[in-house]
Amino acid sequence: MKAKNNKEIVKILSTYKKIGKDIQKKFSQFRKIGKRLKDKEIFKELCFCILTVQSKAENCWKCIESLDDANLLEKGSSDEVMRRLKGVRFHKNKAKRIIEARSSLQILVRMLEYETDSTQIRQWLVENVNGLGMKEATHFLRNIGKADNLAILDRHILRRLHKLGIIEKIPESLSIKNYLEIEKKMQIFAESIKIPVNHLDFVFWYQETGRIFK
């Protein structure tokens, strides 16, 4: 997929040169989590991605840390979890989804241990963890160093892809089919400019927000 905006490509390459080492550090941290496969770490990242739907990532992580400090992620009731989700949209439903996700944790950890195909793991997550769509499932896998060549198609990424001419318009919603089609276009573009697609996520995010987070 050839982008139409050469000036934007120059900016991407310049940004990657600037923050590439920081991105590498992030992925080093993510891979350590994926190698350790500790239930608590995996569950924190899973719950974080459940919370991020239509909510600010930084605030969601603060809520996760608060829940973890109070030992409520693994043992708290739905009401106890909900009270800690300050500033998170749909906090009541998301609290219930965190409780539901506990029952899938052991199966998920075993799958992460033995399954090497990230697309298969993502599909399982979408089908079995309430609150995770394609974007959130990919985000989770990225944050444990197992996303491989998958792309997190959030609004920041889609805006950049549209600006580059890689997609004709920003979709109002993404079906699984549309997600995979746009992801493929982003993968081809990333390959053409010699930046790993999961690194390109960070570059686009940085260009939109001026920061690197989770």
Active site residues: 135, 154
From residue 15, give the alpha-carbon distance in Å to each of 95, 114, 207, 209.
Answer: 37, 36, 8, 13
> Phi and psi of 138, rounded to 5°?
-65, -40
- Identity of the residue numbered 156: H
- Identity of the residue numbered 97: R
Tokens 């995979």 found at? 180
Helix (H) or strand (E) holding 162: helix 155-163
Helix (H) or strand (E) holding 149: none
Angle at 93 (CA atoms; ends 138, 34), nearest 5 degrees: 30
